[in-house]
Amino acid sequence: MLLITALVMASCSRGPVPIEYGSDECHHCSMVIMDDQYAAEIVLKTGKAYKFDAIECMVRYMDKDPLVKDDALLFLITDHDHPGELINAGTGYVLHSKDLPSPMGMFLTGFSSEQAAKEAQNVHGGNMYSWDELLASFGGLSMEDAP
């Protein structure tokens, strides 16, 4: 009985949905998600999750389907220093650096804090963005000339 209750509770909980690397497909580009350092996810208020293989796919999808913002509960990105770990995009930082190629060609890598992103920037160079800054300037980022 307790088990059943627990199962029901678990199935109703709304939070990050684990990504099955090697079998889940990106909601935007249909590629199988392989790289556990770059995945991203939108969790809807219904508990359903859209999974993405890269930050750029999530941002492009948000652009294609602007209404998703109203339905979304969480926007998640992967912390590059902790592969497989999804963190809240809003509190994370993103590095745009030619040194770190992300799966969909935009060179965007997520970090859990400004400090962590700065440390990576010191090693790899490039420009650093908070989540809101990234959304604001994404259209101007070039695929060919990452800093």
Supply angle C-alpha 10, 24, 57, rounded to 5.
Answer: 110
Q: Given candidates 22, 66, 139, 140, which one binds another protein under the rule CB under 8 A?
A: 22
Per-residue interface string for the shown chain with another protein, residues 41-80, x marking contact by CB under 8 A = ----------------------------------------
Closer CB to another protein, residue 53 or residue 62?
53
Strands 72-78 and 93-96, sheet pairing: unpaired
For residue 57, how many C-alpha atoms fall within 13 Å in the half-sphere facing its CB? 25
Alpha-carbon torsion (87, 137, 30, 62), positive or negative? positive
Closer CB to another protein, residue 29 or residue 73?
29
Q: Given candidates 6, 32, 90, 91, which one binds another protein under the rule CB under 8 A?
A: 32
Q: Which two tokens stand for residue 99?
A: 């040194």
Residues that bind another protein (CB under 8 A): 21-23, 25, 29-32, 34-37, 83, 101, 104-105, 143
